[in-house]
Structure 1
Amino acid sequence: MFFYRLLARILFSAYALRLTVSARGDVYTERMGRLTAREGSGPLLWLHAASNGELTSARSVIDTLQSRAPGLRLLVTTNSETARTLAKSWGLDAILAPLDMPGPVHRFLDTMHPAALVVVENELWPERLTACAERGIPVFVIGARMSASSARNWGRVPDLARQVMESIRFLSAQDAASEARFRTLGLRPDRIGPVTNLKSAAKAANAETSLPFPRAMTLLAASTHEGEEEVALTAFAKAHAERPDLRLILAPRHPRRRDQVERLITATGLSHATRSRGDAPASATVIYHADTMGEMDLWYAAAGMTLVGGSLVDHGGHTPFEPAAHGSAMLHGPHTSNSAPAYDALRQAGGSVEVKTAEDLTTAILSLADPGKQAHLTRRATEALAGLATTNGLDHFYIELARATGLPDIANWPEAPCNSP
């Protein structure tokens, strides 16, 4: 732990110095743990999700906690301002997470006094977790993911890995391979719950889109990253030249890139409108730039085809469960390590189309611009992903969390005490 703290102090101190110069005051104060205590008498639950994907995957958990335990105060922390904005759009109390140094972490804990920390997926910060454990604050990790490369890295610091694993009270892994790696790193078997894939809980919201686009002829490029918009726009422009009735909804992962993405759209020469500017799309609008947070259900509802972002460039690919839940035929690139079992199942079942180049994508768009083909693909995707829908393990999480926070309703025990078996 000594060497980690030394390295963290060097790296995060440099980052903190940049924040004092370039960042807004709220970013600096939140990152440094200089906060104001929250009002209320009920237990405060600290839930941490790194970014949009992790936060979205935990939405059903958040909803369940709030509905079962109205007295529970929930504080969400994220690593990105985009995710913080998304959490706030859901009406949640959300701030940026403290830097993983003793000062910020202990200031955060001294002010907030959380009853428990819930970590979503793969944010195992040593200072944060060990500080909680030292104070008797139970740490829960749900839908935890551990890649082979991450396990190798942790294996190079076995003492630190053991300390972090010992800090965890309960962990549910995303898949069996991740669970095995956590065991190898020293996580005790009695602290491991059933495999739980949070992303598989995605459900189609009752979202009614107001876009004047025919769904079967509309492609959604969902949560795209830098380097993907160029490919999507090039491919779509070529497809549109052959099928002028095609429409594109371009929803970048980070709205702050609006101006950059707008320049790329303008370069296509196609008519477009931008959501954040209040532009209303007309039936003749070809590209709709959906650059706002918390509205992805609207775009899935409007699109018969979805290109999954983060897969054309090496970001590991975003979840395939959301487009599948909305009945949108799925296209994706080759980079799918974040949800490898799900994408492997889709490939084997023929439930998605993999593309690598703009030419591939053009061909796929033109081929899938057909309601029958879309229905066939989405049916296969639904069947392929059904076997991976592992969220029943959350019941074990709720039980353990109820015991930790003293709120029995979290476990759906209407009358049972928290120490009930």
Structure 2
Amino acid sequence: MLTYRLVLTFAAPLFALLLAVRWLRGPESWADLRERLGLGGEGAAPCGTVLWLHGASNGELTSARDLIETLLQTDPSLGLVVTSNTLTGRDMVRNWHHERVEARIAPLDYRACLTAFLCRHRPTALVVLEGDLWPNRMVLAGEWGLPVALVSARISDKSAQKWRRRSGIAKAMFSAVRLFSAQDAASEQKYRDLGLPPEVIVPPLTLKASVRLAEPDPTLMAHYGQVFSRGETLLAASTHDGEEAQVIAAFQQAMRERPDLKMILAPRHPARGAEVAALLRQSGLSFRTRSAGDAPDRSAEVYLADTLGEMPLWYALAGQCFVGGSLVPKGGHTPFEPAQFDCAILHGPDLRNFAEPYAALDAAGGAISVNDAEELGRAVAALTDGTRAAMTVAARHALSAQGGSSLEHLVEQILRLATPAQRDRNGRPPEI
């Protein structure tokens, strides 16, 4: 830990410069920077028993929405302060408009910033989603007597190797953990190998398995449904740099067999919309762009869906879905969302983020695995109404067993950690 803190100390001037640049260039306001420094934000800090819940960004916090709402319903006296590393994650939670939830940008991993945050909010426990591990945050939580819960935790081979090389830091972080629930057996074993105490481990739970996206706007569905025939619409969901070119090539290949096919292309990061649009222009495909305010048109072959928060609409319009992050080394994205909307699922080979659900899907015939653009094009071209229908039924059955432990049981365990009595048993925070 000493080495880590020395590195942060020497890097402090650089961090200060980066924060100043972000402020001067406008992506973050002074209020946003104050949140990164742990000095507060919009709205009052929750009163009473306060739980600190942290997720890296939109995906982690979206998956935890049911968890958050179940916590609030179960304990009417509970308040939550929810942190994210990104502005978009924080703003998404604010837009949920929960009265007992305050959303903040996560404080930097400096003890001064973390101490300021803890003094302001006085949480009684820290819940970390999926495995966004920050050493000072977890160690300081332990020093303050805050039990830490790692929920729906996962860890890649690369990250596990990194923490093995820093075993002293890993041991210090895990000393504060009082509750651990992995996404899958492989991640649980990696955490065990890193020195996580076995007595804190409870059955696995995949929060993303419980996510139910809202139904799309019926007015938009009626309007867009006149352009997109579900059986003849391919959704490329959450694509990454290096993947759109492959998807575009596969789509053009499939169109030779299915001339009525259309594609909705939804990049994982909408800020890349201009980059993806350039690829579409180079391909010669006609397209319309959602962020430009373009409505879909029957004459356009592709609809570039470069906006946030509209994935339910795209899933509902498409009968087949290629799940991105899998033809490039990003680990793949959730299969649970397209399965909810009965999209036939296609995916590439890199599935390490959801290895067990995809293995179940492939074994049951609920998804099609491809290795490159050519295989994706052939697979899309060969899909029939009957094949798609059989795949969606198989996918629902295969994924129904992938949730793991019950959400209600996890909530009960988290609330037990967050109660003042439990906090006393783990040590009170130091006097400030």
The reply to whether TM is greater than 0.5 is yes
Q: In structure 2, what is the equivalent of residue 304 of structure 1?
A: 319
SS of residue paired to 2:146: coil
SS of residue paired to 1:91: coil
The within-5 A match list for 1:60-75 is 60-75=66-81
Structure 1 residues 13 and 284: alpha-carbon distance in aligned structure 2, compared to 1, 3 A threshold: same
The within-5 A match list for 1:25-40 is 25=29, 26-36=31-41, 38-40=44-46
Q: Does 1:321 align with 2:327?
A: no
Partner amino acid for 2:373?
A
Structure 1 residues 329 and 11: alpha-carbon distance in aligned structure 2, compared to 1, 3 A threshold: farther
Q: In structure 2, what is the equivalent of residue 59 of structure 1?
A: 65
In 2: Cα distance, 1:217 partner to 1:128 partner: 49
The within-5 A match list for 1:394-413 is 394-406=407-419
Report the TM-score, using the length of structure 2 for normalisation. Answer: 0.86
Q: In structure 2, what is the equivalent of residue 351 of structure 1?
A: 366
Q: In structure 2, what is the equivalent of residue 45 of structure 1?
A: 51
Q: Does 1:79 align with 2:85?
A: yes
In 2: Cα distance, 1:309 partner to 1:289 partner: 15
CA contact 2:323–2:345 (8 Å) conserved in 1: yes
Cα shift at 1:149: 3.6
Structure 1 residues 274 and 88: alpha-carbon distance in aligned structure 2, compared to 1, 3 A threshold: farther
Paired residues, number: 406
CA contact 2:67–2:411 (8 Å) conserved in 1: no
SS of residue paired to 2:175: helix
Higher mean alpha-carbon deviation, 272-281 vs 320-329, is at 272-281
Q: Does 1:280 align with 2:295?
A: yes
SS of residue paired to 2:132: coil
Q: Does 1:17 align with 2:8?
A: no
Report the TM-score, using the length of structure 1 for normalisation. Answer: 0.88
Cα shift at 1:126: 1.0
Cα shift at 1:70: 4.5
CA contact 1:222–1:253 (8 Å) conserved in 2: yes
1:140 pairs with one of 131, 137, 149: 149
Identity of aligned residues (%): 45
- What per-residue deviation string (whole Å, max 9, x for no partner) do you get for residues 358-380 of structure 1? 22221121112x22111112222
Higher mean alpha-carbon deviation, 332-341 vs 174-183, is at 174-183
The within-5 A match list for 1:21-420 is 21-23=21-23, 24-25=28-29, 26-36=31-41, 38-91=44-97, 93-203=102-212, 205-207=214-216, 208=218, 209-210=221-222, 211-212=224-225, 213-368=228-383, 370-392=384-406, 394-406=407-419
Structure 1 residues 33 and 304: alpha-carbon distance in aligned structure 2, compared to 1, 3 A threshold: same
SS of residue paired to 1:279: coil
Structure 2: give runs of 5+ residues left out of the alignment: 422-432
What is the root-mean-square deviation of aligned Cα atoms in Å? 2.4
Partner amino acid for 2:56?
A
In 2: Cα distance, 1:87 partner to 1:33 partner: 18
In 2: Cα distance, 1:198 partner to 1:300 partner: 20
- What per-residue deviation string (whole Å, max 9, x for no partner) do you get for residues 6-47 of structure 1? 223345652442221244335533322232472443433222
In 1: Cα distance, 2:405 partner to 2:258 partner: 41
CA contact 2:124–2:420 (8 Å) conserved in 1: no
